[in-house]
Amino acid sequence: MSGVNVRVPTILRTYTSGESEVTASGATLREVLTDLETNYPGISARILDDSGKIRRFVNVYVGDEDVRFASGVETATPAGSRVSVVPAVAGG
Amino acid sequence: MAITATESHTTVTRPFGPASALSCRECGERYEIGPRFACEQCFGPLEVAYDFSGVSIDAIKSGPPSIWRYASLLPVPADVASRPNMAPGFTPLVRADRLAAELGLRSLHVKDDSANPTHSFKDRVVAMAVEAARAFGFHTLSCSSTGNLAGAVGAAAARAGLRSCVFIPAGLEEGKVVMAAVYGGRVVAIDGSYDDVNRFCSELIGDPAGEDWGFVNVNLRPFYAEGSKTLAYEIVEQLGWRLPEQIIIPIASGSQLTKIDKGFRELIELGLVEDTPYTVFGAQATGCSPVAKAWEAGHDVVQPVKPDTIAKSLAIGNPADGPYVLDVARRSGGCVSHVSDEEIVDSISLLARTEGIFAETAGGVTTGVLRRLLAEGKLDPNKETVVLNTGDGLKTLNAATAGVSATIAPSLEAFRDAGLAH
């Protein structure tokens, strides 16, 4: 299975040894996060709450689409797609 | 903390004044003061925590006629007013008797923040961010913006001698684009929505290309957001050190509403104002009303939307502070409501016609929601009410419907014939 590129925000880079981008595999966002957890233990619990939902102050994008407008953690992650994890931003 | 020896004594300079830490609003985790904005444990927003001392009404009254009279309540150094800055704030609290009479209210005030240096409330928040940028040594001031913030950042950076580069969604009102660009900084339009701009800026601060950049509403957000508290302080002082009974506040990200509430509570806790009940109402445009929809559905979480409204300064489809807005409205006995674009345009005219205040679209939203809440019986017409106007109508001229009354020849006959004498 081809890899998915995951962009890691600054506050999660302690899990990725400072790397801002890592690769993972999976056909859905949930599978990608599971694979990330295997290689970077602890990172998944920062993104998902205890019930497995995306934490309310985390935005996750597949390509340019906020997964909340797609299928949440079940959003498809085609080979070569880019996943971005971004803290919520206020003000404007 | 820098310690400076002088001839007669030792002066301790605290760049963040009474601020003592950053605290997570979600889980309470505390962090040392720094250019950080999200909790490393839960991604919750960080906000400034304080160790207040030396706060008194007399000291405030002796301060300058700007937000800096409240420096002892803000994350800024005590000598902040002496540094080059825009000196925003202390805008008029207009007694709106004619609008009150038209709507059937006993007492109404409009807090008119179009009187700020760049004609919106954003000068307040940016002033905080400039001080934080100075303290952290950032060389470029930046932001993601729907327009008003971009103008405020451009102006404040120019005054402070910082570089600026602001990011806006393509297609903003021309007045806001010009106002952002005229101060000499870079203005970059992103081909996407405001939420797309936000995502881009969040990724930029994590990239070497964004190193040493202070994004006022991203990595400087905890400090920036505190500027909205000054609206609470000013309203209380201008009412004679009393809390308003009801207040209507526009919601974009929701930060302004939650910080005004924080300001009221601080004054109560410090004993500077009597702890009387106040009710907070949130106002959105129907075309971007995720918080109002969550309120109507009784939800604690806010489902993002894709905005479609003329009220572009409020067009944030994924409002980060939305859940806290719901908390404040619920706790204070208020609610979150919304009005259509047609009601916004009509309400801009209403406010201008009755009080001589030309509001931008966000002011049309708050005035429109005031009218709607009265009609629905959700706002008490007998209680003292404050409604916010956060920006100047000159920035959103396309939303106004006014025009010339008649075009006539330059003669008295033509004037009389047109029926204009009475």
Number of A–B residue contacts, CB under 8 Å: 102
**ipTM score of complex:** 0.85
**Rounded Cα gap, residues B160 and B145, in angstroms:** 20
Sheet of strand B186-190, all strands in order from the earlier edge strand to the far edge: B186-190, B163-169, B140-144, B213-215
Give the span between the Cα atoms of B318 and B321, in whole angstroms: 9
Q: Which of B39, B40, B316 sits opposite A92 (nearest CB)?
A: B316
pTM attached to this predicted model:
0.92
Which of A8, A58, A89 lies at the smallest CB-CB distance from B217?
A89
| DSSP-assigned letters across all residues of B197-249 | HHHHHHHHHTSGGGTTEEETTTTTHHHHHHTTHHHHHHHHHHTTS---SEEEE
A56 reaches B (C-beta below 8 A):
yes
pLDDT digits (tens, 9 = 90+) for A26-75: 999 999 999 999 999 999 999 999 999 998 889 899 998 889 889 999 99
> Considering just the CA atoms, what is the radius of gyration of chain B in Å?
22
Interface of B with A in 292-321 (CB under 8 A): 301, 303-304, 306, 313, 316, 318-321
Instruction: Name chain B contacts of A9, Cβ cutoff 8 Å.
Output: 38, 202, 206
Confirm if B387 and B248 have CB atoms less than 8 A apart: yes
Which stretches of chain B drop beneath a pLDDT of 70? Answer: 1-12
H or E segment to which residue A32 belongs = helix A29-39
What is the Cα–Cα distance from B256 to B404, expressed in whole angstroms?
A: 36
Residue type, B381: P
Residues with Cβ < 8 Å from B152, sequence gap 6 or more? Answer: B86, B118, B120, B122, B123, B125, B126
Determine the distance in angstroms separating the CA of B122 from the nearest CA of chain A, rounded to an integer.
9
CA proximity to B363, closest of B382, B346, B385, B380: B346
pLDDT at A90: 60
Check residue B141 and give its pLDDT. Answer: 97
Please give, rounded to a whole number of angstroms, the shortest distance from the CA of B19 to a CA of chain A: 20
What distances in angstroms separate CA A20 from CA B97, B200, B215, one per listed residue? 57, 15, 19
CB contact (8 A) between residue B45 and residue A68: no
B166 touches chain A (CB under 8 A): no
Among B55, B107, B121, B69, residue whose Cα is nearest residue B381: B107
**What band does A2 get if pLDDT is binned at 50, 70 and 90?**
low
pLDDT higher than 80, residue A1: no
CB of A86 within 8 Å of a chain B CB? The answer is yes
What is the pLDDT, as a whole number, of residue B399? Answer: 87
Residue of A nearest to B201 (CA): A89
- For residue B168, the model assigns a pLDDT of 94
pLDDT at residue B172, rounded to an integer: 84
